[in-house]
Amino acid sequence: MAWIGRSGLVIAASAGAIMLGASAASAATGTVNTSGTALAVRSGAGTGYGSVGSVADGGGVTISCQTRGTTITGTYGTSSVWDKITSPAGYVSDSYVYTGSDGTVAPPCVQTLTDDYPYKADSSSQADPWNFYKRECVSFAAWRVRQRLGVDLTNAYRGVHWGNAINWDNAALSAGVKVDHTAKVGAIAQYNTGTYGHVAYVARVNGDGTILLEEYNYLSAHNYDTRTVTASSVGNYLHF
């Protein structure tokens, strides 16, 4: 596939064409290009977040930072990059924003991690709406993927039974979900250790070879925690 580049050139699509980094030092500006419809502004970097407003086609935006979220195909190709804009305050898919560059134009957003899982006070013997047990690692990971990436991940996603975390790599392969050893924000870190295995959400990829994980039922039974580990220590990464 090809699309019109931000510089006005026609360029071929390629994976990882836009990489988040620290090279951009300040806020940037852009112009929404949706071929007529208004672009939804969301409370987070993904289609799973609610709308907080919109920007009209042709409207100008100020981009304070950029991050990764739901992969969107828009006017400028397919991208998981989202722009945090100042008015209305929220996030828009970078695939619909002309910035004059095919690279990053603003610094990476620093996300504040918080336990916003909706079932943190519920019994772990109850099933969540997507049919995992609440406050287990699989329930939290599935919920984070649903919330951040807009993927309808359930225990029967794409007709496959996902079950315990130790089965998630096999389930992912059966469901056509990419499994590799490359850490990316939004991926699920999957371990085949112990009786049941473990899964966690990759919240941040650091420049020193480490990653920041969000998870449930690891450091404390059926509770939330975050921890930094070496990226190479993870068994597999699942990319929804």
Each residue's pLDDT tens digit, 178-230:
999 999 988 999 999 999 999 999 998 999 999 999 999 999 999 999 999 99
The pLDDT score that the predictor gives to residue 2 is 31
The pLDDT score that the predictor gives to residue 24 is 38
pTM of the model: 0.69
Report, as an integer, the average pLDDT of 134-142.
98
Report, as an integer, the average pLDDT of 18-36.
69
The pLDDT score that the predictor gives to residue 101 is 85
CA distances from 194 to 33, 39, 85, 218, 219 (A): 49, 46, 44, 12, 14
The pLDDT score that the predictor gives to residue 70 is 84
**Residue type (1 letter), 79:** S
The pLDDT score that the predictor gives to residue 67 is 84
- Identify the structural domains of the chain with CATH numbers, from first to last: 2-98 (2.30.30.40), 137-239 (3.90.1720.10)
Residue with tokens 């772990």: 124
The pLDDT score that the predictor gives to residue 13 is 32
The pLDDT score that the predictor gives to residue 117 is 96
Q: Is 147 helix (H, G, I), strand (E, B) or coil?
A: helix
The pLDDT score that the predictor gives to residue 108 is 76
The pLDDT score that the predictor gives to residue 48 is 83
The pLDDT score that the predictor gives to residue 8 is 38
Asked whether residue 32 carries a pLDDT value surpassing 80, the answer given is yes
CB neighbour list of residue 27: distance below 8 Å, 6 or more residues apart: 62, 63, 64, 65, 86, 106
Q: pLDDT tens for residues 88-123?
A: 999 999 999 999 987 778 887 877 789 999 999 999
Instruction: Give the whole-angstrom CA distance, residue 83 versus residue 64.
Output: 8
Q: Is 180 helix (H, G, I), strand (E, B) or coil?
A: strand
Asked whether residue 177 carries a pLDDT value surpassing 80, the answer given is yes
Report, as an integer, the average pLDDT of 82-90.
95
Asked whether residue 26 carries a pLDDT value surpassing 80, the answer given is no
The pLDDT score that the predictor gives to residue 22 is 36
Asked whether residue 171 carries a pLDDT value surpassing 70, the answer given is yes
Q: Give the residue from 154, 191, 160 showing the smallest Cα distance to 175.
A: 160
- What rounded mean pLDDT belongs to the chain? 88
The pLDDT score that the predictor gives to residue 14 is 30
Asked whether residue 3 carries a pLDDT value surpassing 60, the answer given is no
Q: Is 142 helix (H, G, I), strand (E, B) or coil?
A: helix
